[in-house]
Amino acid sequence: MNNAPFIGLVDDAEFLPLIGHVIGRSTARVAFEVQGHPNFVIKKALWPGAFSNRVEYIIWQQIADEPDLAAVLGACPAMSFTGEHLLMERLSDLSTSAHIAARRVPCWVTDRKPTNFGINAAGEVKMRDYARLNLGEFLARLPIINV
């Protein structure tokens, strides 16, 4: 993504000076503004070993070059080695009925509550929480190949 303060896996210390005001919070994470980078958020895990940041980072790395999926999932350009901090594109709360009606979700993402969607600076409605997955039944449809 353009203008990310850093990309890839970095130390938690890189995130700390950029943490701004709290934007929102749920059961596993709290989201903060990123100082100097209004189109991003930092998502901080609320307990050690929480996996949601890692899941989103890994999924994003796998699908970033798949346009149909990248259009509906929030971009995650960076994460800390510990998984405590994740950098995600900012996806603001949906306010208009047209935006609410524009919500789309990959069939393998299971937590589809309204607060898990938002809209980015370009007007794209995307998921901002896609850590809960049901991959098995979909992966099982793909061939297992000889090596």
Q: In whole angstroms, how close is the CB of 40 to ligand ADP at the nearest point?
A: 8
What x-and-dash track marks residues 81-110 binding ligand ADP by CB under 6 A? -------x-xxx------------------
* Cα 43 to Cα 53: distance, rounded to the nearest angstrom: 8
| 5, 59, 74, 87: residue in contact with ligand ADP (rule CB under 6 A) | 74
Question: In the set 115, 134, 138, 139, which binds ligand ADP (CB under 6 A)?
Answer: 115
Report the C-alpha gap between 38 and 120 in whole angstroms.
11
DSSP 67-113: HHHHTTB----EEETTSSEEEEE--BPP-SHHHHHT----TTB----
Residue 44 binding target from Mg ion, ligand ADP, none, CB below 5 to 8 Å by type = none
Q: Which residue is nearest to ligand ADP (CB)?
A: 24
